[in-house]
Structure 1
Amino acid sequence: MENFPRKELVKVVQSGMTGSRSAFALAVGRFATKLKDLDLQLAQEIAQFLSTENVMRGAGDFVPAPVDADSRMELVETVFPVVVPKKPVFNEAVQGVLEDVLREWRSLDLLIQEGLAPARMLLFCGQPGVGKTLAAYWLAQELKLPLLTLNLATVMSSYLGKTGNNVRAVFDHAVSRPCVLLLDEFDAIAKRRDDDSDVGELKRLVNVLLQALDDWPANSLLIAATNHGELLDPAVWRRFDHVIQFEPPSADLIEDYLSDIPMDSEVRQNMAALLQGESFSTIGQLMHASRKIALLEKSDLVPTLVKGAVRLRMSKGAMSKPHEGEMLLMYLAGQSRREIAATLGKTHPTVSRVIKRYLGE
C-alpha cells in the first residue's frame, strides 16, 4: 500500500518495546490517525483502546521513594490526595493558561486518539510567595494526581556526579506512574552552563536534566518553579509547553482573596489597598495568625486582621499615610476618638473617617 503509514507503525513498535505507557498510546494514536484515509474501520477499532482510563492507569499506586545513597533521606516528598483548602486567586493571564492546561487534560481521550499530548511541562517564574507552589498544588488537586516535590536539600550533593544521579533517580521514580512532579527552586539544578566557576559538574547535571525532560511522558505533568528565571540555561526554556509569569497580586486580586472574611465591601476594598505590595503567602500567613488570635482572645476577626495588617505595613514603612496607622492602633488599643485626635493633632472627624474606612464603625 503506497500510503501506508510505515513510519508511524515503526514508532508504535519502538514505543511498545522501549517506551512508557503514554508514549505507546501517543504512537498508536498517530498511527490510527494516519490510517483513517486507508481503512477508517480499522483505525476506529485501534483507537477504541486509547482511553484516559488506560493511559492514566496506576495514578494511585505508590512505590518507595528513592533515597540519597549517603544520607538515606528521601529525594521526593509525596502528597496524595492533594487538597487545597482555599481556591487560589490568580490574575487573568495566569488563570487563563492554567484553565487551558486543565481543559487539555480533561480532553485526554480526544487528544490521545489523534496522537496528541496535553501540556506536559510548565515553567512558573516569579518572586517568592506569589502563588507558584500553590498553583502546582491546585493543578494536582484538579487532576486528581499525586504531587511529588523534589527535595532539593537532599538531591544536591557535594560529591562529584552524585547530584546528577539523584536527579535521574527522581525522574525514574516519577515516570513510574502518572503524577505531578514539582521541581521547586529549579534554577539550582538548571543553571546556565556558561558559569565560569563551574568545573564540569554543572554541565553534566544540566545534560542529565535535559535528557530527563525530553523523555518526560504524556500522562504526567512536570512543573518547574523559579524565582530567578535569568539564571536558567537557555536550552531549558525550549522544553516547556508554557512559561507562566506570576506577578505580585493587585489590590483587586487581594480583595478577591479576602472575600471569605465577612466584612463590609468598603472595608475589604480599603484592606486590599492597604495590603497591596504583599505576596499571597504573606497575606495568607497574616489571615491565619489573625484567626488564631481572634479565637484565643475571643475578639472579632476584622479588627484583629486590621491590627496585624497595619503593624505589618508600618514595620516596612509601606503605609502611604502612617498617621492613619497610628490612629487605628491607638483606637484598637482602647483610646477614644477624642484622645487620638488630641494626641496626634488631628480633628475628631478625621479620626472617625479613618476608623470607619478600615473598621466600618
Structure 2
Amino acid sequence: MNMQHLQEFLTRIQTFDLRIVEDDIQMESGTNEKEHVKAYDLTYQTQYYDSFSYRSELRVLKDMAFIDLITLDKERIKLQLAELSKVRSRFKEFWGNYNQHYSEMKLIYDRSFIFSVRLDYLFIVNNLQSDGADIEVTSKFAEDLGDSVKLREKFLMELIYDAENSIKEHLSFEDFQKSLHAKKQEAIQADEPTEISKVQEAVFENEPPTKSIDRYPTFKPGIASQLLDLLREYFVSADHSKLERLLLSDEAPERPLVFRGFGNQLADAFKQLFDARLIVGCQMADLERWIAPKFNYLSNQAEARELTEGYLNGLMSTKTRPCKSPILKIEQKEDKFYILPTPRNKR
C-alpha cells in the first residue's frame, strides 16, 4: 500500500536544511564589539519569528500521514507504530547529546558542535560544512536547533497518539474525516487557521495513551510553600497568584507561566526535589508530563519557549551534565529539608 504522506512526514521531520548567513555577531562576553562572520541559521524551521509556515506545514503533513495510517488494519498500524517508535528514539538520543553540549552561558560554540550532538548521524542534514570551514555556530543557532527538534518531536508524538487511539477506538476513515472537518471549523471560528490541530499529550513508554495517569506528583508537607517563595522572583507579579494556585492547590493555569530563566534551570529545580524525594507519588516521566504544559521559559533572545516533554526528558531522565547555574540547593538538618536560593543573574 502506498504510504506516500507518511513517508513525506517522516522525511520532513528528520531533515534539517541549514542556511549559511552573514551577520554581525558578539563573539565574546563582557564587550559590545561585534564581528561580521558567516554563521549557520535554522530560524525558519522553528515556530518563532516569521517562520509560522513551517509549523503549519508539519501540521498538514502529520494529518495526511494519519490518513495513510487509518486506512490500514490494526496489525499493520502496530507495525507502523513500531517504526515511529524508532524515530522517537532518535529524538531521545539527540536530546541526550544536545544537553551534554548546550550551555546557556555560551555566545559561540565550537565549530564541531553539530557533529558533537551527532545531528548528522541521527538525521539528514543539508548544507552542513566540515568543522574546519569558516562558519560559526552561535548561541542563537543552538537555541533554534533545540526549538526545531521540539516542534518536530511534538508532531511525531501527536501522530503516535492518534494512531494508538485509532486502534482502541476502531476509528474509521470516514470518522476521521468528520473529526478533521470539525477541528477546521473550530479553528476558522476562532480565527486561528494555523492552529487546527490541538496539541495532544505525548505518549510515554509503557503508558497506554488512552489510560489516565494514576501516578501524580505530590509535594512533601511544607515543600510546595518553600518552592513558591523561591520561585516568585522568577515570574512577573501578575503570575504570582497563578503560581501559588498551581503549587499549593494544583490548579493549572489557563496559559503556561513564563519562567524568567533558562529551561534547564527550572528542570533542574524539579529534578533536585524529585531526587531528594521531596516530590513523591510518581515517576520522573509523570513529573515531566506535569511540568510541560504549565511552564514556558525565556531564551537567550528573550522569547518565551515551550518546555516539551521530550526536552524535559533529556534533562531530567537521562544522565547529562549538571546544570551550571542552578537556582536552588537543598539542605537537610536533622529530619527537616530546606530549599535555599543560589545567586542568580536577573533577566
More strand as a share of residues: 2
TM-score by structure 1 length?
Answer: 0.22
TM-score by structure 2 length?
Answer: 0.22
Q: Which has the larger radius of gyration?
A: 1
More helix as a share of residues: 1
